[in-house]
Structure formats: C-alpha cells, structure tokens
Structure 1
Amino acid sequence: MRLMTSLAAIAAAVFAMPAAAQSLAEDAAAFGARRSVEDISISPSGDKILYVQPGSQADETIYVVDLVDGGAPTPIITMNEAKARLSWCQWATDDRIVCEVFGMADTNGMLLGFTRIFSISADGSDTEMLSPSTSHKTMGVLQNGGEVLALESEGAPGKILMTKRYIKERCAKTRLCNDKEGLGVDAVDIESGSARTVEDAALRAVTYIADENGRVRIMLASDTVASGYDGSDYRYLYRRKGSSKWYPLSSVDAGGPLTVGFQPLAIDSAKDVVYGLDHKNGHTALFAFALDGSDTMTEVLALDGVDVDGVAQIGRQRRVVGVSYATEKAYTRYFDPELDALASAFAKALPGTPQITIADASADENELILIASSDTDPGKAYLFEKDTRSLTELLSLRVPLEGRAMGAMKPISFPAADGTQIPGYLTLPPGSDGKNLPAIVMPHGGPGSRDVWGFDWLVQFFAARGYAVLQPNYRGSAGFGSDWFGKNGFQQWDAAISDVNDGARWLIAQGIANPAKLAGVGWSYGGYATLQSQVVDPTLFKAVVAIAPVTDLNLLKEENRRYTSYTAHDRMIGSGPHVEAGSPARHAARFQAPVLLVHGSMDQNTTIAQSKLMEDRLTAAGKKVDFLKFDGLDHYLLHSQARGIMLKRIGEFLETSLGD
C-alpha cells in the first residue's frame, strides 16, 4: 500500500488566503497568480512524482515526492532567473530529471529567444547542462539548445535523443574547430553530458521525429531563399525500418494562409505508420502514412465543421493513443479502448463532470497522472493505479481560487451583420440574472487560434468583478476550416473586427449588456482587435484595454526584418490598402474611448514599440491613454505579482471609465 501525504493540503498551506476575498486587490492577486502546478511528471517506476511550482515573482521550484515512503514534497532546485523560465520537466530515469529552460536575451539590440536543456538528480545534488556549449570562435548565436526527441536512445536508459544545432567556428591557424553547419541528432548521457552523434549535421534540416524506441525515422528539411530568410517550401523524408536511407514522404507549402501538405506528428512503430495532418474538404484531418515503402495514406478522422488539431500521446515513449479536436468543447477520441473507458469513467465519477487529460504515465502505464478541470474548476491532478483501481487526489492546480464561485462558460452563437452565425462563449457573473450588466467583449489572440471551453483565469477575474464576458470566435479564427480562416485576421481584419463589434451589439440587443458600460479587452491580436474596433465604431466601447497588442501592421513586418522569419511575417500581413486602414495607430484621431495599454519590455512576439507608438499617437491626438509597462517580461507576462498588478490596474481603469 502506498503512503500518500496530502499534497493538496500542503500546497494549500503555502498559498492560503481568505476564500471569501471580495476586494479588487484580493481578486487581482488570486486570479493573477500563476498555476500552483505548472508541470507534473511521474517516474518510470511510478514511485515518484515531480511538479513545478511558481513563486510570487519569477521564481519556480521543482518538488519531488516519494509516493512509496510518503512525506512532504522535497524542493530540489529553485530557478530565479528574471528573463528565463522552466518550459517543462520530465523524469528520464528513476534517479534523474530532464528540464528545458526558455528565456529572452537582448543581443546587439535584437530580442532573441533561447532554450537550454539540463538534467538534475532526484535529490537536487547534481545538475548537468545537456545543450552544446559555444565559444568566442562560434560564428553565430545558439538559440535552440536542442529538442528532446526521445527519453531513451534506442532502449539505452540514461541516454536521451536530442537534436543538436551546429554553428561554424573561426578556424584561423587551427584545425581544432567545428566546420559543420546545420541540425543533427545526438545521444546524450544525462549524467555526464557526453554525446554520441546519431545523425550528422544536415544543412537544411529543421527538425527530426523519432519513434517510441528512440530511432530517428523522419526529417523535415526547408528551403532558404537567397536573401537568407526562411522559405515557404518544406520536405519531409522518412526511413524504412532497419534502413539509413532517406525516402521522400511529403512536400509542404507554407506560403499561403494555411499550410498545405501532409505534416507528420508522431510515429506508431508497431503499425509502422506516422500520423499527421492534411486537408480534406477544407478542414484539417488526421491521416496515417505507411513507412514500409508502400507510401499508403489512410484517413483516420475527418470532421465536418471543425479541424482535427493533433494526436494524443502518453507516457515516456509518447505512445499515440488518440486524436484531439474541438467543437464547443475539446475532445480526445481514444484509439485505446481501455483509456477511452477510463477517461469516461473518471469524468462521471468526479464532481462537475470535468474534462480528463492524461498528463503522464509510468513506464508500464500502470500509474497514470490525470488532470481533471472544467470551465468553473481550475483543475486538480490525480494519481490512478490500474492494478488497484485506486484514484488519489494529488494537487490543486490553482490553490488561491479554491472555494470560489466561478461563472459558467456557455457556448453561444450570434448573428453577424451579414447573417453569418458567429460561435463563441458567454460567461456571466456567479449568481447573476444576466441582465443590464457591465460587459466585456474579449477576442482571442492569434489570430490563428481560437477560444475553447474550459477554465480561463482572465475571464473568471472579470466575472468575479461583476462583468459579463463574451469571447467571439470571429472569422479568421483557426479550427473551423479554411473558409472560416480566410486570408487570416490581419489581411481580412474588416471581417474579424466586424464580428467582434457585432458580438458587442448582440450583448446589448439581448439585454445582457448595459450599453453605457461596455468595454473591449484583448491580448496580442485580441488587443489589436479591441483597438481597431475604435477605428471602425468609436462609440461602441466605452473603454478599451489592449495587452501586448499589434498597433501598426507595417511596423510588425519591419521589426521582423532582421530575423530569418521575416518572410513569414511579410506573407501574414501582406501588402495593399488594408495595411494602412487596419493599423489603429494610424487612426488615433477616431478614438473616443479611454485606452489602457499593457506591455512587457522583452516581448518578441509584438514588441513594446507597438504600444509606445499607440501611446504617442493617442497623446498627440489629445485622447485619454494610460500605459502600464513591465520591465524584463515577455509576451505572456508569466509573473504572478505582475499579473496581479495588471488585473488591479485594469479593474480600476474599467471602474473609472465605465462609472462603476
């Protein structure tokens, strides 16, 4: 029998705060706090778990728990880098953990993202850098520190399979330098950091895919245009079992609004197929491509009205167990009947019929880590043991929000001006009758993404403060097929913004929103959409909040000119009258509502120059504008204290602007 300490109780003690907090400051701190558990993994034997817990600022701590002996979680390392964070951590063996760090750096005036892979012993006594090192001879910047393709290199525990970026070195007066260039694959010892070459550097290689047994079977290669920018044509190559020869698999064209061609995702070596995405009748579908040399393509799942978005994988071998997609809610259709039955049984047994995600599994898949969450439940992590059929609660994912009433997220649709039904979600304040409320229209970012049913900390903050929140999946959103996506939300901004504004008008027409207390709030493209809504209809929203927004489309292109991805941005924005017409910073004189801008100084996605330009133009036009800046933070503002400050400031801004 396992001796389980109540981890949830321990975590609750760390994050404890009054459940009945009602003040703006208390709500801002509670909802702004990052998830109490950002990542969780179980060891190969199933005897230990690790989880990553953020602190109040940029700090993150890795905890290890012995599930057999019990006892309190043991902190083994704390990261305190202001401009770097843990992307993920996972057990590589029972004694050692592998983690990825992501960060931003200002290099000669350019913001560059970087990753590094390191390993750490289970007791925290020893760490080892697994990413390759550079020197003064290196003729370039190593941004990508490697991608972990498999946690075991061809069945060799303790050696992981990683990509390696080769950068040429200056070789004057010496032969002791690297003259290779491109991307290769190494088998890396997680204790010593020593590496053995598995795949030599390939100049055009972008990434590789390995099977469950740690064998490299697929390579993605790209074309680079003469200017040095990334091209739009890609080729996938594959290997047959037991062969080292590369064979053509598919060609992919990324030059249009949507990528065209079969895109491999994951290999099932038992079936000798690779699952991947391609288009069918205007929607993304899942196919299986045979790797036996027959080149047979078989349809696995195609849906009407929505796209398939990927495959579900579990465990250290990343075994493919199902296919994922979203209609009004996100779903996983399991290939594995046992997992399908388990997920259904868990959803029925747990309170509120939550959605179930299998987050990790032991090597034999007897122990499963499950995440159960819903629109009104931030989520909990559970341990399920198949042999004993026992289910044990481990951790709450958002301890500061435990015991709080949340607003239900209801799927709705509303008519656009041309009669098209626009899908979205409406969240009302807990206990509200849904009439004559202060309201917020909150378009999602992207624009190549979509909102989906589930817990959203930003939405629930506004609901807790008494606002109705509408999240429209405007035309230009991903997930609904190529016709819905169109040319994207920038080149067809007029359709997207019209849908956003029509959502606001629907709230008024339904009697849900008080038209005098209607605001637009958005992040990234969503921030752009709320600003551009002022250009289209200056009287509709009485206040606008834009977090990390795009404000000038040509500036978005130009500030990426120094990066190899410039051509992708150029294609996304396009050229023509829509660039000037669709740039809110160029139409500041039309604004009537007060504006609050929020931006981090290390944002590479949409640089802080975008918000500075908007502030300058609004100020010059004599408009009301406020600007909240966060030094050292990137696009996502992953900092609990900063998010709390932001929410409090937004709350005060809306109360003042809307007259609450």
Structure 2
Amino acid sequence: MTARFLLAIVCAFALGAPAVAQPPPASVYGRLPNIDDAAISPDGRHVAMIVTGNNQTYTRIYDLDASRVVLTVASPKDHTLRSIGWANETTATFVLSTALTWDQSRADEYGWRDAQRLFEFFRVGTITLPDGRMKLMMEKENGSWANTRLDDLQAPIVGDAGFGRMLGRTSPTRDGRVAIYRVNLLTGDGRIQQSASPRSWDMLLDESGRLVARTESQENTNRWKLFSVQGDAERQIGEDESETGAPPPLLGLLADGRLATLETPDGGDRVGLYGVDLATGAHTLVHEAPRHDITGAIADPWTRRIVGAQWTEDLPKQHFFDPGLAAIAGDVTATFEGGYALVLSWSRDMRRILVFGEGVGNPGAYYVYEPAEKRLRKLGALYPELPPEGVSSVSVINYPARDGVRIPAYLTIPNGLEPRNLPLVVLVHGGPHARDSWTFDWWAQFLASRGYMVLQPNFRGSSGYGDAWLEAGRREWGGRMQTDVEDGVAALVRSGRVDARRVCIVGASYGGYAALAGAALTPERYACAVSVNGVSDLSLMLQQEVSGDANGPTADFWQLSIGNRAEDAARIRAVSPANLAANVRAPILLMHSTEDSVVPPEQTKIMARRLRDAGKSARVVVLTGDDHWLSAAATRTQMLEEIETFLAQHLAAPAAHPAFETAHPTRQPDAR
C-alpha cells in the first residue's frame, strides 16, 4: 500500500493459507501455477485464464461484472495449454502443444533423417462463448503439419469480422512457401490469401490483415533482405548478414507506421528497439535500457501496434510510449513495494487493465486494475497454498571470476538459518543463452525451504547483459561458462557462508549438462550432482541438431554455442560428461522426461550406461509423460521429492526448518 492512492482489493477467488509449523510439502512448490496465463476481453467484461487443478489444465472464463466463473473447458488429452487470449468479445483463443515425431505429425515428407525424434508442435485454437465450443485452427490444411509453430493468430481484423489471419507453409515439403491464410474463427478452416517467394522468412500484417513487410534469408550465405510491401508492389529497403542467417524480427508497426524491430547497432553492445521507415529503410532508435538488452515489444492486443518495450534487469521492466499507459503502469507498479508489476492487456476503452504483480513473500498474482476508481481486484494467486513463510529471502550478489570479471547472481538464504557454513545447492539455469532473474523461482524456493542455500549465477554466455557477455560464453561449454559457476562456489566458501564439503550442483537442460560437467571435470568440488533433462554427449547433440538442415539457423546457432563437430571434435569430446564417467567421484541423480522434444532421453541413457560401466554411483529416474519444461505437476513434484531425498543423503542438511513460522522473507541487494 502506498501514499499515492488508496487501493480497494477485492478477491475474486483467492485462497488463504493457514500458518504452518513445518515447511510445505513438495507438492505445494511442484504444482503448476494456479493461474498460468490470463487475458482480458476487448469489452473488458471477461478474463480468460489457464487454470490448473487435480492434475488437469483448463481454460476458465471469469465474468468481472457478475464476479463468477461462466465457463470452464478442459484441455485436449495429451496436450499442454501454453497461452490464452481473445479474438473478439465472444471468442477466446488458446495456444497448446504436444510432442510428436515427424512420422506421427504426417510431415515425414519434409525430409528429416531423424524421423523418430520428438518435436514440439504448437497450435492455436478458439473457444466460443457461451457454449464453450473448442476448435483448432487450420487442422485440415495440407501444409499445417509442416509448421511446428502454427500458433500466431492475428485477430480481430478490421473490416473482416469472424475471421483472422495466420502465417503457415503451403505444403508439408521443402517446396512449401510461407503464406497468409484467412481463417474462419468458428470452423478453423483456412484459405490461402497470399503466398510469398520461396526464400521468404517472415511476413508482417497490419490491423487490416494487409501485408506491409516481409523478410527473406539465404541459408548458404546467411544474408537476409527486408522488403516494404504496398499492395502488389514491393521494394527492398534493407540487406545484411547475420551469424545464423536469421533476419531481424518483424515485431509490428509503431503508431507512426514505422516497423518495430530489435537490433544491436554497429559498434554497440546492447539490443535496442528500433523503428524502420518503410519508405526509406532508415533505422532510428526508439528505446534502449541503460545496461541490459531489450528483449521484446509490447503490442496493443486489438490493433497489434507496438506501444512499449520490455526487458529484465534484476526484475522485469516495461516502458510505454503512450502517456496514459505509462501512468497506469506507474500507479500499479508503486503498489508492489520491493517487487514489480506488469501490464499484460487491457480493454479497448482502457476501463480495465489486466496486471500481474509480485511482492516480497508473494509468489505473484493476477489482478484487474480499474484506473477511474484506482481499484485493484485480485483474481487469484499463482501458489495459493504457499504461505509467506514458505518464501525465503533472495539477495542480488556478484562475485569475482578467476580472471577478475564480476559475475551477477542470486542467492536464496533459508528462512530462520544463519548464513554461515550452510550446505549449498548451485542451481544452474538452462539455455545456456538464457538467464535467471530476481523473481519467484519454485525450484530454488523449495530447496531453500529444506535448509539449503541456493546460488543461481548468470555466468558469461547468459542473455540480457549485452552482446559481449553473450559471446563470451560461446564455445565455452565445460570452459568459461563452467568455471564462472565454480568461482561462485569458491566465493561463498571464502566468505564462510558455505561449507565446502556440502555443495551439490543441480540443473535442467543446459543446467543438467553443467551439473554432469561439474562432477566430471572438477570431481573434488561437488559432493553430488543432479541432472534433469540434461545433455551428456555434445557431439551427438550437434549431430541431431544439424541433421537434415546443415545450413539452417538452428544448426548455425548450436555450432556457434558448442562448436563445429568436425573442427572442434577433440575439445567437444574433452568436455562431454559421457566421455568422462571414470573421473566422477560424487553420487549422481539422473532424471529425464519421456516426452522431451528438446534434449532426447537418449542423452541420459548414455550417461547412465557410462557411469554404470565405470562402476560409479548413479540413480536414474524416468519422468513418465512429461516434457522438457516439466509441464506436469505430478512429475514436477516427483522430481522435487527425488532431489529432497538425494540431498538429505549426501549433504546432511537439517530435516526441519528452524523458526519457520516467524521468518520474514525479503529481497535484499548484496554487493559482496
């Protein structure tokens, strides 16, 4: 609560949580968020939400005027809901995904050699009010299953009620072209309205569904071109080369008609939001952050015009170009002292604004803000069963790497414990070209609730800190990215906060690789290691990513990240944990999801076999039915319980949490 204005907080369906004497069970942290996504309707009457319960995911429509749920629709079997939105006042939209092989997807003609590997297929659909009819878009089209991501539905379209626009390939073969489809929102049927040239990469439509710009790419040379389109005429307004051949993203049109895109200027280090004049091709900076990369643009949900920029410092940040939206964002943010708030969507008349906010001891909740009344209505919390005492304090720290560079990180300190000589879990983020932030982390908070200090380093190679920081991690798997993590452990040991004999390295995806590499490359450093959906054989991973598209952007990306499979073969072998099993001293816990479409389960099977052959201690757990992102509550909880048992055996942490009831979580900057 702030002095700027008085808030009336109305809880629509939030749940209270009683005080507890023991840490919450793993299921409280491992459950999926109670609300996973939300969007407000154009007229401001309804909020569509992805909600979870009883190990099931639903789309729920909440009537704000009547203060009641008016529709609940279960997600299709074997599919995971990913996001929610609106096409018009009576049509909600959703995006879901499922893991399929190319054979199962009917796209085997596309020519991939590894036809049995899983890929994640994303699809968009609609739900009509009031009957709740659910329909996937473009299910019947010939080219539909050549698109792993057929999930961007542009609606409403000015002057074409009941229809939207989508981009997709025209055929499930390599001859298929990118095309604009006019899609019936009720039936899902799509018809090609306009197809692009064979090398087209992306196309941008305005609010009337008119093509205004497109890009194309030449994979063999990694050169791209940008075209401005007016009716049947187009002209080239830009050309350059990128490391992967990927052109700049076509984010949308700014209010003045310029194209919004993300780019790093020549000689610069940070990604900024730029406007491109579609008549002249001139590029002008629209917004940049002082020390971080701009990561995206904020689009008006009804016109798709770009109205702001977003990025992450320690907390997520937004900047709006419109003074009215900027004032609303400022008012809402001021209510979450020590935390942050994000403006997510709004009604056409700006009468109601959907907000997500997170504060101290609060894992986050969705709200509706009404500017005229300055009233914030709480829709529901992400983790309603988790009491404030179950959220430990998190500090922003930085520490010196061995070459003197300061590494930013987050340190979670268990409530009620003096930060001296504690057991430590190093929780390494995935990517690796991603990052952690100062927001609620269910995995880190669970570990802290069990008495472990948790370190989350944004090692060199992490994203968001500028090009130089990102590039410093290239081809540094097992190298600088690994030693930056190790140096964080060393700094905490020197400070006396951590017991050097009780350190475990844990992670998923790339973090799983880092955990295995830590146990194999520096076996004296860690008392144990946990890999979830991790990589163990880098050469095999490169082979799988390059297969079928050796000159494509995905192949280029991974070769920039890991190395060239032929030229760097010796180095890649030397940092692949599967080749170093004989070095391992610490016990290892290996877990992998059966439906992982990013890191094949074979990677964990190989590591388990190599460890067994070397006579090493390893436990293997299969996360049945889950995907790379741990999208199922049951397997998330299973994973946490397995880790809890494993750490208790090998780090000897306290079984109960001292002073659990009286602890007060805070966010604390810590420059040490």
Query: TM (normalized to structure 1)?
Result: 0.88
Higher mean alpha-carbon deviation, 156-165 vs 304-313, is at: 304-313
User: Do the aligned partners of 1:490 and 1:582 also contact (CA within 8 Å) in 2?
Assistant: no
Aligned mates of 1:479, 1:5 — CA distance in 2:
36
Give the Cα–Cα distance (whole angstroms) in 1 for the partners of residues 499 and 476 of structure 2.
Answer: 32
Which of residues 181, 199, 208 is equivalent to 1:204?
199
Change over 3 Å in CA distance of 1:297–1:482 after alignment to 2: same
2:125 to 99, 118, 125: 118
1:569 to 558, 562, 567: 558
1:513 paired to 2:498: yes
- Show the counterpart of 1:316: 302
Aligned residue for 2:595, secondary structure, equals coil
Matches of 1:234 and 1:29, distance apart in 2: 48
Per-residue Cα deviation, 1:439-488 (whole angstroms, up to 9, x for no partner):
11112111111111111111111111111111111111122222222264
Tell me the equivalent position of 1:597: 590
Partner SS, residue 442 of structure 1: strand
Aligned partners of 2:210 and 2:645: how far apart in 1? Answer: 56
Shift of 1:427: 1.0
CA contact (8 A) 2:255 2:305 kept: no
- Residue number among 29, 32, 42 corresponding to 1:31 in the alignment: 29
Q: Where in structure 2 are there 5+ consecutive unaligned residues? A: 1-8, 104-114, 654-672
Kept in 2: contact 1:211–1:268 (CA 8 A): no
Distance 1:250 1:381 in 2: 41
Is 1:167 aligned to residue 171 of structure 2?
yes
- Matched residues in 2 for 1:53 and 1:616: separation? 40
Tell me the residue number matched to 2:287.
Answer: 301
Q: CA deviation at 1:567?
A: 4.8
1:99 corresponds to which residue?
94
Which residue is equivalent to 2:669? none
Summarize the Cα distance change of 1:207–1:102 in structure 2 as closer, same or farther, 3 Å threshold: farther
CA distance in 2, matches of 1:280, 1:323: 21
SS of residue in 2 equivalent to 1:35: coil
Q: Is the 8 A contact 2:248 2:261 kept in 1?
A: no
In 2, the alpha carbon distance for the partners of 1:617 and 1:317 equals: 55
Given that 1:42 and 1:48 are in contact with CA atoms closer than 8 Å, whether structure 2 keeps it comes out as yes
Q: CA deviation at 1:429?
A: 0.8
Matched, 1:77 2:73: yes
Structure 2 distance, partners of 1:532, 1:473, is 17
Deviates more, 1:538-547 or 1:160-169: 160-169
Residue 68 in structure 1 maps to residue 65 in structure 2: yes
Q: Deviations over 1:594-645 (max 9, x none)?
A: 1111111221211111111111111111111111112232211100011011
* Secondary structure of residue in 1 paired with 2:272: strand
CA displacement, residues 394-442 of structure 1 (integer Å, 9 cap, x when unaligned): 1112222244431222111111111111111111012332111111111
Q: CA deviation at 1:381?
A: 0.9
> For residues 649 and 19 of structure 1, do their structure 2 counterparts lie closer, same or farther at Cα, with a shift above 3 Å needed?
farther
Conserved in 2, the CA contact under 8 Å of 1:205 and 1:221? yes
Per-residue CA shift, 1:485-535, capped at 9, x if unaligned?
Answer: 226454453111111111111111111111121111111111111211223
Provide the alpha-carbon RMSD of the alignment: 2.7
Contact 1:236/1:249 (CA < 8 Å) preserved in 2? yes
1:8 maps onto 2:13 in alignment: yes
| CA shift for structure 1 position 34 | 0.8
Does the C-alpha gap of structure 1 residues 252 and 294 become closer, same or farther in structure 2, counting only changes over 3 Å?
closer
- Contact 2:545-2:558 at 8 Å conserved across structures: yes
Cα gap change, 1:100/1:261 in structure 2, threshold over 3 Å: closer, same or farther? closer
CA apart distance, 1:389: 2.9
The answer as to whether partners of 2:12 and 2:67 remain within 8 angstroms in 1 is: no
Which residue pairs with 2:186 in the alignment?
A: 191
Bigger relative contact order, structure 1 or 2, given CA contacts below 8 A and separation 6+?
2
Q: Secondary structure at the match of 2:485?
A: helix
Identity %: 26
Distance in 2, Cα, partners of 1:552 & 1:127: 42
Once the 2 structures are TM-superposed, how far is the Cα of residue 151 of structure 1 from its aligned partner? 1.1
Find the aligned partners of 2:500 and 2:606 in 1 and give their Cα distance.
29
Distance 1:596 1:375 in 2: 33
What is the DSSP-based 3-state SS (H/G/I as helix, E as strand, rest coil) of the residue aligned with 1:400?
Answer: coil
Shift in Å at residue 224 of structure 1? 4.3
* Closer/same/farther in 2, CA of residues 524 and 46 from structure 1, 3 Å limit: same
Give the 3-state SS of the residue equivalent to 1:538 in structure 2: coil
How far apart in 1 are the matches of 2:268 and 2:518?
29
Note if contact 1:265-1:311 (Cα within 8 Å) is conserved in structure 2.
yes
Q: What CA distance in whole angstroms lies between the structure 2 residues aligned with 1:168 and 1:440? A: 46
1:382 aligns to what SS in structure 2?
strand
The whole-number CA distance in structure 1 between the counterparts of 2:241 and 2:599 is 25
Confirm whether residue 610 of structure 1 aligns to residue 603 of structure 2: yes
Task: Indicate the SS of the match to 1:150.
Answer: coil
The one-letter code of the counterpart of 1:433 is E
Between the aligned partners of 2:594 and 2:162, the Cα distance in structure 1 is 39
Three-state SS of the structure 2 residue aligned to 1:596 is strand
Matching residue of 2:243: 255
Q: CA deviation at 1:125?
A: 4.0
Equivalent residue, structure 2, for 1:621: 614
CA distance in 2, matches of 1:444, 1:383: 32
Could you tell me which of 245, 264, 267 is aligned with 2:233? Answer: 245
Aligned in 2, Cα 1:236/1:495: closer, same or farther, shift over 3 Å? same
Q: Which residue of structure 2 lines up, in the alignment, with residue 645 of structure 1?
A: 638
**d(CA) in 2 for partners of 1:595 and 1:250?**
51
In the alignment, which residue of structure 1 is the partner of 2:253? 267
TM-score by length of 2: 0.87
Q: Report deviation, 1:273.
A: 3.8
The residue identity in structure 2 corresponding to 1:211 is D
Q: Report the alpha carbon displacement of residue 278 of structure 1 after superposing the two structures with TM.
A: 2.7
Shift of 1:201: 4.8
Establish whether residue 588 from structure 1 lines up as the match of residue 593 from structure 2: no
Report if the CA contact (8 A) 2:152-2:167 is conserved.
Answer: yes
**Residues 173-202 of structure 1: per-residue CA shift (max 9 Å, x gap):** xxxxxx982110122121133444332254
Contact 2:215 2:247 in 1 (8 A): no
CA contact (8 A) 2:123 2:151 kept: no
Matched, 1:332 2:318: yes
Within 5 A, what are the aligned runs for 1:507-586?
507-564=492-549, 565-575=554-564, 576=568, 577-586=570-579
Shift of 1:648: 0.5
Most deviating of 282-291 and 85-94: 282-291
| Count of matched residue pairs | 626
How far is 1:214 from its partner?
3.4
Give, in whole Å, the separation in 2 of the partners of 1:621 and 1:124.
60
Q: Is the 8 A contact 1:313 1:320 kept in 2?
A: yes
> Aligned runs of 1:36-55 on 2, under 5 Å?
36-55=34-53
- Residue 155 of structure 2 is matched in structure 1 by 151
Report matched runs for 1:451-466 at 5 Å.
Answer: 451-466=436-451
- Segments of 5+ residues of structure 1 without an aligned counterpart are 170-178, 226-230
Which amino acid is 1:578 matched to? Answer: R
User: Secondary structure of 2:25's match?
Assistant: helix
Contact (CA 8 Å) 1:155, 1:214: kept in 2 or not?
A: no
1:306-455 maps to which residues of 2 (within 5 A)?
306-350=292-336, 352-374=337-359, 376-455=361-440
Q: What amino acid maps onto 1:153 in structure 2?
A: I
Aligned-pair CA distance for 1:653? 0.2
CA-to-partner distance for each residue in 1:57-92, whole Å, 9 max, x for gaps? 3x3111111122233x2343102523x211222121
